[in-house]
Amino acid sequence: MQKKIDLVNGPVLSSLTRLAIPIMATSLIQMAYNMTDMIWIGRIGSSAVASVGAAGMYMWLSNGLAVLAKMGGQVNVGHALGADDKEKAAEYVSNALQLTLVLGIIYGIICILGARPLIHFFHLNQAQVIRDAVSYLKITCGLVLFSFLNQTFTGLFTAIGNSRPVFLATTTGLVVNIILDPLLIFGIGVFPALRVTGAAIATVVAQMIVTLMFMIFAAKDTVLFRYVSYRKKPDMKSMKAIVRIGFPTSVQSMLFTGISMVIARLVASYGDAAVAVQKVGSQIESISWMTADGFAAAVNSFTSQNHGAGKKRRIYQGYVSALKVVFVWGIFCTCLLIVCPAPVFKIFITEKEVIPLGVDYLRILGVSQLFMSLEITTAGAFAGYGKTVPPSVVSIVFTTLRIPLALILVHTTLGLNGIWWSITISSIVKGVLLFIWFCVFMRRENILHNHIGRKDE
């Protein structure tokens, strides 16, 4: 596989696809990585799933901080490389990694010291569920630095046009996690049965190995990382540029998670089984949004490099090509969740009283999968321009509206399903509005005008 893909020259679809396929495969692997935990933990019972679901919210929240350095670094590196300024690109790399280290350490300390009050936010019912959630939180979020570094490295390698290290490192992490999960959760041979704690340890060990592999790939890279000075004092101008682009996405991500935590608290009022359904359902649902997110990363890098090179026509063609792929994938995911919800959900939880709740979740969320994929891909195109405010505004406004909508719908005959419908309705609206906004933006930037139907440069 070619180490670096030329994103500013040659056939558009070919360049975008060769970059996107390893990223999409990586996203599927990451999804499998998360599902592996759920499958094994589900064998313990729905109470264990509820523990991981509650603690996992804070791991999800941490992604908002991680994306600050990842998005800002990826976009600025892409712009610099598109303008053929490797020295500036290398400066962005060092600053992005330095910012990642600081944020990862701070977040880890907060989660270790405040684990119990953080878990109490969800008002979980069973004492064992609370203890398991606290343990899982301290381990996974206490050592979240490795997850932060992996996300930043992923963004930087993608910006270069080299998604191969991301695929190899993440695949290795999955294999390690698959091996360690049953050993540490159930106890095999000399390994004690650690249950939920074992799942947390397996996850962190796998993340450490992925970080190590990224560092090895960076040391061998001849395109950009060889020019990076890691001990160099942070450059405030470059740091501000990273924060300026990454901040809107960071706020969006953290508010999105915060709102999801409020929704999870509302779900918890229906019992720990409902919490387990939301956790497992979101993992199954990730088959669409994680893949779309992977393709959005490719669109981001493709757009950023071509924007830096001043090639507007290629940007339009790349976005259209991405939409075609995402449309097919979104339709597939919709059909899977609506037509086959029970067999899919039973992979994770087999308790008969929980399955009907899971089936309702998957069918309702299945309606929005195409629109959610459209939103994520379009957000990636916006980010490639360095315009992270539009997707953040759309996401923040309409994700926030989930709370009042859910509070209204739960008091109808829908009950718990009203919460799931509030998520689906907002996802549909976000996807449509952001697509329209980007079309208006492209027309204003003269990207659509005189470029539709014309061949590549």
- Of 34-48, 369-383, 384-398, 440-454, the range with the lowest mean pLDDT is 440-454
* 66 vs 280 pLDDT, higher one: 66
Mean pLDDT: which of 10-19, 235-244, 285-294 is highest?
235-244
- DSSP letters along 133-177, please? HHHHHHHHHHTTHHHHHHHHHHHHHHHHT--HHHHHHHHHHHHHH
The pLDDT tens digits of the residues spanning 197-215 come to 888 899 899 999 999 999 9
Asked whether residue 455 carries a pLDDT value surpassing 60, the answer given is: no
Predicted pLDDT of residue 1: 38
Q: What pTM value is reported for the model?
A: 0.73
Contact 380, 155 (CB under 8 A): no
Beta carbons within 10 angstroms of residue 229's beta carbon: 10
Over pLDDT 90: what percentage of the chain?
25
pLDDT confidence band for 138 (50 / 70 / 90) = very high
Q: Degrees (nearest 5) of the Cα angle 154, 21, 434?
A: 75
The pLDDT tens digits of the residues spanning 265-284 come to 888 788 877 877 887 787 77
* 2 vs 222 pLDDT, higher one: 222
Longest CA span, the chain:
68
Nearest to 133 by CA among 20, 250, 52, 210: 52
Distance CA 95, CA 433 (A): 34
Asked whether residue 2 carries a pLDDT value surpassing 70, the answer given is: no
Q: Degrees (nearest 5) of the Cα angle 9, 162, 392?
A: 90
Asked whether residue 230 carries a pLDDT value surpassing 60, the answer given is: yes
Residue indicated by tokens 């419908």: 421
Distance CA 434, CA 413 (A): 32
Residue type, 374: L
Over pLDDT 70: what percentage of the chain?
91
Predicted pLDDT of residue 350: 75
Predicted pLDDT of residue 401: 92
Please, what is the average pLDDT of the chain?
84
Nearest to 150 by CA among 217, 202, 196, 220: 217
Predicted pLDDT of residue 229: 82
CA 272 from chain centre, in angstroms, equals: 25
Residue indicated by tokens 């690109």: 89
The pLDDT tens digits of the residues spanning 140-194 come to 999 999 999 998 998 899 888 787 888 899 889 888 988 888 888 888 777 777 8
- Of 4-13, 204-213, 219-228, 233-242, the range with the lowest mean pLDDT is 4-13
